Structure formats: structure tokens, C-alpha cells
Structure 1
Amino acid sequence: MRDPWNAFMPYPDADVGHAAVGPLSGLRLAVKDLFDVAGYPTAAGNAAVLAASGIKTSTAPLVQTLLDAGACFVGKTNTDELAYSLIGGNVHFGMPINPRDPDLIPGGSSSGSAVAVAAGLADIGLGTDTSGSIRLPAAVNGLIGWRPTYGSLDNRALRPLAPSFDVPGFMTRSLEPMAALMSALGMPAANDRPPSILIPENVFATIDGAVADEMIASLRSAGMPVRRTNAIDSFSLSDLALAFITILQREAWETNRTLFERSPEAIAPDIAARLLSGSRLNDEEVREACRIRKLFSAEIDRLLHENVVVALPTLAMSPPRRDAEPGCFAAFRSACIKLLCLSGLSGCPQLAFPIVNYVANASLSLFGARSADRTLINVARRLRAE
């Protein structure tokens, strides 16, 4: 396959079979290079991990489920190093090119899967989402992005980053293949009661006013019950982001400590610095972060139990150029995590999708109760109906 976008890892082709008939027949599957696929190594975006990998002899159960449903494997895709960024860069294997706007970052860490789908090289992009690594590149590349309910999909033979947040997820160009995926993966059916949409004003106040107005107008045009609220919980976005980052950094350090201690020079300086930050956290900081997560999760469960879907902007700001200074990348990452961390802290599903007919193709998200993944796709269908 010709790949001018650097979406795929440059591995020799190996035969990966799939069912001839199934609900995903005819759909091409690109797999983030964190999942094992028989006949291929798993590099996780790091040259030292690649050197130690060897060729895998079995396929991750989730990937096998997709193959058994008829999806056709077309390659393993590029990822930010150790899946520990939201930008899409990689000092070992290069940054994929955003097909929508080659001057902008592709977003990460599921950068290659997003670019493969956006470029028409795949129909399904399998990736992972810890702090936004499905939702953010989906938004940047104009795709549908689904972060499933935490723990609902099999994550065996998947290299972890922060296990209490890591979720396998998907990107597609439209809602129909995403709905087929949810069905093929056995996600619970949506209930018959139409949900109401909740708009948290404190969240929409953080983004550009014109974009916020367009999103809210889109929500109101669908003819569904819509109401506003000051906030969906008792915590500030900054406090939630700090709690999230604290837990993330501690778990990322624990996951990658052996690699860091054996081959520190094999890790890009910015990734190494974040790993070191996790090593320096004290137990009290982590306990406080876990306390906030528990309280926040309980508040969200109470709110969403009432058949409510929360509408959120997917991104806090426009993505930077691929040649921007590191400080711009850091500012973008920090701003976006304040919105993206809500799903991670609560374990609830989130679906991101572009607003129909909006000139900037801004991305809106729906955030729902645990196991309400298919409710989100139903609401998105109504919002995107022309």
C-alpha cells in the first residue's frame, strides 16, 4: 500500500486472515501499534521496545474479534512514543501527516490510525484512549471518535500506559460503521427512553464564543430536550485535570519504569521528563487525586442515571501547526486535558463527531452513563441529520 501520510509502520506484510462474511465485511482495519498482531512486532512507538519485541505469535483478542466479524486488516499504525502524548509526533518513526490540513498536527497518540482513516486508507482505525488519544485525533482529522465505557472491551495483548484509564477505542469517517462496530462488539442496546441533553456552561465558557454558539445551536436544532446547567459536578476543571494528570503520571511511570531504567537514552526527552515527573510524586498527592476521582465519578453517576447525555466541546482550542514550538504543544495539551479528562476520571463513554455544515468543522462530544455507548450514537445520528 502506498502511504504518503506516514500513517503505517514500515513492517513487512504478513498474512492476517479474516472471516469472509460478517457484520464488518468490506471494512478495512488499521491497528495502532500497541496491540499484538500475529506475524508483526509491537513497538509502541519506541525503537528499544521494537528491538525487544520479536514477532508476535498470537493476536490481541479484541483485534481477533474484529477479524472474525469480517474486518480486513491493512496494517499496524504509527503512535506517539509509548502512547504518552496528544500531539502525534514521534522522534523514532516520524509524525504522520494530517490529510485535512498538512500544516497542522495529526493529534495523538492514535495518530496513525486517525490519519489512515482520514486519508481513506482504512475504514476503521483501532487505537487507544487514555487522556484523549482517540477523541483528540478524531477531532483534528474530522472523524467520528469513540472512547468506550471503561472495561467494556478486551484489553489483553495491549501494551498499557495508565491501566486505570486505558481504553481501546475507534475512529471512522461516518456514524454507520461506528454503529456496526458497537453492535459487532456486543455493546448493550440503547434503552427506549429518549435522553435529554445537558449543556454545562462552565465548560462551553472555556472555548471560543463563536464555536460555542454554533455547537449549542446545533444541539437545539435536533428537536431534543436541551437544558443548561452551571456545571455537572462540584469540582473545577483545573482540579479535575490535576487529579487526572497525577494518577496518569504515577501509572505511566510504573508501567514504563523498567524501560526507563534500562534504556533512558532510548526515550525522547519530553516523554522521559513526564515519566520522571511520575516517579517524583509522593503517595499523599496520589491519594488525594484518587479521592477526587472517586467523588467526581459518584457525582457523574448520579447525574447520568437520570437518562441525561452531556454535550461537550471535544477540543479546548484549535490544534497547533506541526512546526510549532514545544511550548505551544504543551499549552494545547494542557488546555485539552481539562475537557478530555472527564471521561477518563468517570469511566463513562464519550463520542466525538464534527458539526454538520460548520465551516471550521468543529468537533462536538456526547458524554453518557456507563454502558450507554449506543445511546450516544443514536443521539449523534439525530444531531447530524441534515
Structure 2
Amino acid sequence: MRDPWNAFMPYPDADVGHAAIGPLSGLRLAVKDLFDVAGYPTAAGNAAVLAASGIKTSMAPLVQTLLDAGACFVGKTNTDELAYSLIGGNIHFGMPINPRDPDLIPGGSSSGSAVAVAAGLVDIGLGTDTSGSIRLPAAVNGLIGWRPTHGSLDNRALRPLAPSFDVPGFVTRSLEPMAAVMSAVGMAAANDQPASILIPEDIFATIDDAVADEMIASLRSAGTPIRRTDAIAPLSLADLALAFTTILQREAWETNKALFERNPEAISPDIAARLLSGSRLDDEEVREAFKIRKFFSAEIDRLLRGNVILALPTLAMNPPRRDAEPECFAAFRSACIKLLCLSGLGGCPQLAFPIVNCAGNVSLSLFGARSADRMLVKVARQLTAE
């Protein structure tokens, strides 16, 4: 297959079978190179991990579920190194090219899966989402991105980053295949309508006024009552992001400590610096972060009780150019994590999708209570009028 977008890892093809008939029949599947696929190595975006991997002899159960549902495997896709970024770059294997706007970053860490879908090379991109690695590239590439309820999908034979936040996730070009994927992986059907859609004014105040107005106008087309709230919790977005980042860095260090200590020069300097930050965290800082997480999770449970859905902008700002300076990437990552961390802290599902007939790179998200994943698609269909 021709891949001018650098979406796929350059592995030799291996035979990967799939069911002839099933709910995903006719749909092509790309798999992020964090999941084991029989006949392929698993590199996690790092040359040293690739060298140590060997060819896998068994299939990640979630990948097997998709194949058994009829999806046709096309290849393994590029990822940010160790899945530890939101930009889409990789010094070992290169940055995929954003088909929507080649001057912009593709977003990460599920960069290759998103680019493969956006370029029309596949219909379903399987990736992972820890701090936004599905939702951000979906937004940047004009796609649907689903971060499932934490713990709802099988994550065996998936290389972790921060296990208490990591979830497998998916990108598609439209809602129809996303709904089919949700059904195929066993998400419970949504029989209820949301009681209301909640707009947190403190979050919408952080983005451009014109964009916020367009988002809110689009929400009214769902036919669901719209309510406003000053804030979703009595904590600032900065405090929540700090708690999230503290836990993320500690868990990322624990996951990658052996790799770092064995071969530190094999990790790019920016990723290595983040890993070292996690190694230096004080235990009291980490305990305090977990307390904030527990408190926020309880607040979200209370807020979303009774089929309430939260509406959020997916991104805090426009994505930078792929040739931007590292400081620009860092500012973008920091701003976006303040919004993207919320579903990780709450363990909740989030669905990102582009706003129909809206100029620019505008992605709206719906955020629901745990296990309300398919309700989000139901509401998104009403909003996008596919």
C-alpha cells in the first residue's frame, strides 16, 4: 500500500485473518503500534523497544475482537515515542503528515491511526488515549474520536504508559462506523435520551468567543434542554491539570523505568526529560494529586447524575505548525491538557467530533457519566445530522 503520509510503520506484511461476515465487514482497520499483532513487532515508537520486541505470536484481545467482527487489518501505525506526547512527532520514525492541512501537526500520540483514517487509507483507527491521544489528533484531523469509559475495553497485550489513565480508543471519519465499533466491542446500547446538556461557562470562556458561540448554537440543534453552570468543580483547571500531570508522570516513570535505566540514550531528550520529572516527584505530591482526583471524580459523578451530558471544546487553542519551535509545542500541550485531562481524572467517556458547516478547525466534545458511551454517539448524531 502506498503511504505518502507516513501513517504506517514500515513493517513487512504478515497474514492477519478476519471473519468473512460481521458487523465490521468491509471496514479497514489500522492498529497503533502499542498493541500486539501476531506476525509483527511492537515498537511503541522507540527504536530500542523495537529491537527488543521480536515478532509477536499472539494477538491483543481487543484487536482479535475487531477481526472477529469482520474488520480487515491493514497495518500498524506510527505513534509518538512511548505514546508520551500530544504532538505527533517521533525522532525515530518521523512525524506523520496531516492530510487535512500538511502544514499543521497531526496530533498524537495516536498520530498514525488518525492520519490513516483522515487520508482514507482505513475506516477505523485503533489507538490509545491517556491525556488526549485520541481526542486531540481526531480534532486536528477533522475526525470522530472516542475515548471510552476507563476500564471498559480489554487492554491486555497493550504497552502501557500510565495505567490508571490509559484506555484503548478509536477514530473514524463519520459516526456510523464509530457506532458499529462500539457495538462490536460490547458497549451497552443507549436506550435513554439525556436529560440535559450542560455548558460549563468557565471552560467556554477560555476559548475564542466566536468559536464558543458557534459551538453553543450547534448544541441547540440536538433538541435537548441546555443548561449552564459556572464551573464543573470547585477547583481551577490549572489545579486539575497539575494533579493529572503529577499522576501521569509518576506512572509513566514506573512504566518506563527499566527502559530508561538500561538505555537512556535511546529515548529522545524531551521524552527523557518528562520521564525524569516523574522520577523526582515527592510521594506527598503524588498522594495529594490522588486526593484531588478522588474529589473531582465524586464531583463529576454528582454533576452527571441522571443522564446529564457535559459539552466541552475539544482543544484549548489552534494546533501549531509542524515546524514550530519546541516552546510552541509545549504551550499547546499545556493549554490542551487543561481540557483533555478531565475525562482521565473522572474515568469518563468523551466523544470528539467536528462541527458541521463551521469554518476553521473546530471540534466539539460530549462528556458523559461512566458507561454512557453510546449515549454520546446518539446525541452527536442529532447534532451533526449525518
Q: TM-score scaled to structure 1, two decimals? A: 0.99
Residue 273 of structure 1 and its aligned partner are, at CA, apart by 0.1
Instruction: Specify every segment of 5 or more residues in structure 1 that has no aligned partner in the other structure, as ranges.
Output: none
Once the two structures are superposed, residues 139-174 of structure 1 have per-residue CA deviations (whole angstroms, 9 ceiling, x without a partner) of 000000000000000000000000000000000000
Is the 8 Å Cα contact of residues 218 and 355 (structure 2) preserved in structure 1?
A: yes
Aligned-partner Cα distance in 2 for 1:22–1:183: 11
1:125 aligned residue: 125
Is the 8 Å Cα contact of residues 192 and 375 (structure 2) preserved in structure 1?
A: no
Matched, 1:253 2:246: no
Is the 8 Å Cα contact of residues 318 and 361 (structure 2) preserved in structure 1?
A: no
Is the 8 Å Cα contact of residues 162 and 252 (structure 2) preserved in structure 1?
A: yes
Aligned residue type for 1:52: A
1:11 aligned residue: 11
1:315 aligned residue: 315
Aligned-partner Cα distance in 1 for 2:157–2:252: 17
Aligned residue type for 1:217: A
Aligned residue type for 1:164: S
Aligned residue type for 1:318: N
Residue 188 of structure 1 and its aligned partner are, at CA, apart by 1.1
2:381 aligned residue: 381
Q: What SS is found at the alignment partner of 1:221?
A: helix
Aligned-partner Cα distance in 1 for 2:183–2:107: 27
What's the RMSD between the two structures over aligned residues?
A: 0.7
Q: Which moved more, 1:225-234 or 1:347-356?
A: 225-234
Once the two structures are superposed, residues 98-136 of structure 1 have per-residue CA deviations (whole angstroms, 9 ceiling, x without a partner) of 000000000000000000000000000000000000000
Aligned-partner Cα distance in 1 for 2:376–2:109: 23
Spell out the pairing of 1:1-386 with structure 2 (5 A cutoff): 1-385=1-385
Is the 8 Å Cα contact of residues 194 and 309 (structure 2) preserved in structure 1?
A: no
Once the two structures are superposed, residues 161-220 of structure 1 have per-residue CA deviations (whole angstroms, 9 ceiling, x without a partner) of 000000000000000000001111110111324431000000001111111111011111
Q: What SS is found at the alignment partner of 1:340?
A: helix
Residue 221 of structure 1 and its aligned partner are, at CA, apart by 2.6
Aligned residue type for 1:23: P
Residue 306 of structure 1 and its aligned partner are, at CA, apart by 2.1
Is the 8 Å Cα contact of residues 114 and 125 (structure 2) preserved in structure 1?
A: yes
Count of aligned pairs: 386
Q: What SS is found at the alignment partner of 2:34?
A: coil
Is the 8 Å Cα contact of residues 148 and 349 (structure 2) preserved in structure 1?
A: yes
Once the two structures are superposed, residues 225-283 of structure 1 have per-residue CA deviations (whole angstroms, 9 ceiling, x without a partner) of 00111011111100000000000000000000000000000000000000000000010
- Over 3 Å counting, the alpha-carbon distance change for 1:367 and 1:253 in structure 2 is same
Task: Point out 4+ residue stretches in structure 1 off by more than 2 angstroms.
Answer: 191-195
Aligned-partner Cα distance in 1 for 2:233–2:385: 31
Q: What SS is found at the alignment partner of 1:380?
A: helix
Identity of aligned residues (%): 88
Is the 8 Å Cα contact of residues 140 and 361 (structure 2) preserved in structure 1?
A: no
Is the 8 Å Cα contact of residues 222 and 379 (structure 2) preserved in structure 1?
A: no
Aligned-partner Cα distance in 1 for 2:350–2:16: 30
Aligned residue type for 2:221: S
Aligned residue type for 1:263: N
Once the two structures are superposed, residues 58-93 of structure 1 have per-residue CA deviations (whole angstroms, 9 ceiling, x without a partner) of 000000000000000000000000000000000000
Q: What SS is found at the alignment partner of 2:176?
A: helix
Aligned-partner Cα distance in 2 for 1:34–1:283: 29
Once the two structures are superposed, residues 10-61 of structure 1 have per-residue CA deviations (whole angstroms, 9 ceiling, x without a partner) of 0000000000000000000000000000000000000000000000000000
Q: Which moved more, 1:227-236 or 1:61-70?
A: 227-236
Aligned-partner Cα distance in 2 for 1:347–1:269: 30
